[in-house]
Chain A
Amino acid sequence: MDQDEIRRRQRSRAVIMAVLLGLFVVLVYAITIAKMGLYSA
């Protein structure tokens, strides 16, 4: 496997990881808001 292909795969994995981490932050925020709603109800 050539260097360019390795770089391409590393880059695509890094982008996917960044997107997933961003979505995880949003999910934790949404869970927190929903839990606050449950406890205050």
Chain B
Amino acid sequence: MTTSANSIPVAVTADWQDFLALTKPRVMTLVVFTGLCGLLVAPVSLPPALAFTAILCIALGAGAAAALNMWYEADLDALMKRTASRPLPAGRMDRQTALHFGVGLSFFSVILMGIATNWFAAAILAVSILFYVMVYTIWLKRRTPQNIVIGGAAGAFPPLIGWAAATGDVATLPILLFALIFLWTPPHFWALSLFVRSDYAAAGVPMLPVVAGPRATRIQILLYTLPMGAAAIAPWPLGLAGAIYGLAASGLSLGFLVLALRVLANKATEPAGMKPEKQLFAFSIVYLFALFGALVVDHLL
């Protein structure tokens, strides 16, 4: 760290908004929502203070994983238009600060989860952070087009953690919710990566559209949509959710399938002609929010 004439450390330039940006707050909203739903549909209810702490820990754990992801991928982020303005590639924060912030927040979230709820939930939270950082970010992302297929598991943990925080164990329903997000992740990210393909190609990230082309990616989106829909509807016939959820899941999954078929029918190779892909990407976010919301409503009524 350099020092100015007035002994003010000039490397300390990051503003608090930069630390907030490091946690990817927009991604965090989906993580927090699915974690909250996992907690709310569990058969055991926690006192409000402990439930709030459990959700806070899930949010902080997700933020920590995001910070460590940005620490490791600063070089990639600098090459992509979508990510070039993040704190590290934009030069508003040094890498060591991001690393310390991410590691510190990881330990804090896991320990607080263990103290406030139980150590089983804390262990799953720790696994989810490590999975996102070690397996997805460091191991898979730069090596294989299957990066988000396997790495998607990291984002699927929150409902499992929410349930485990309340009950101390896992059951069929949270495992199905895990499977749902796991199977939802590839079509969600592949729809995005189709219309930002040039960004990934410029950064040398082997996303499926870069490696296999748009046609193969569109087929894969449809192929993943089918088991995703099955996982979404499954709690209804299994008696784990009622008709409200079942009908919502069926309707939403049908909508997802229709959009996936429109993506398959699209022949465009340039982002300007990829309206179906953009619609599927936007709908996929609504889909997950609506499904989990329906599950909670179904559980409460």
Contacts and interface: CB of A to CB of B under 8 A. Distances in A.
B13 A1 contact: yes
Nearest to A20: B16
Contacts, number: 43
A12 B13 CA distance: 11
Contacts of B8: 3, 6-7, 10
Contact of B10 (A6, A27, A31, A33): A6
B47 A13 contact: no
A11 to B, nearest CB: 10
Interface residues of B, number: 17
B192 interface: no
A22 interface: no
Nearest to A26: B49
A38 to B, nearest CB: 7
Interface string A15-33: 0100000000001001101
A24 B15 CA distance: 21
A37 B48 CA distance: 12
Interface residues of A, number: 17
B42 to A, nearest CB: 15
Contacts of A6: 4, 8, 10, 12-13
B268 interface: no
Nearest to A15: B16
Contacts of A31: 49-50, 53, 115-116
Nearest to A8: B15
Interface of A: 1, 3, 6-7, 9-10, 12-13, 16, 27, 30-31, 33-35, 37-38
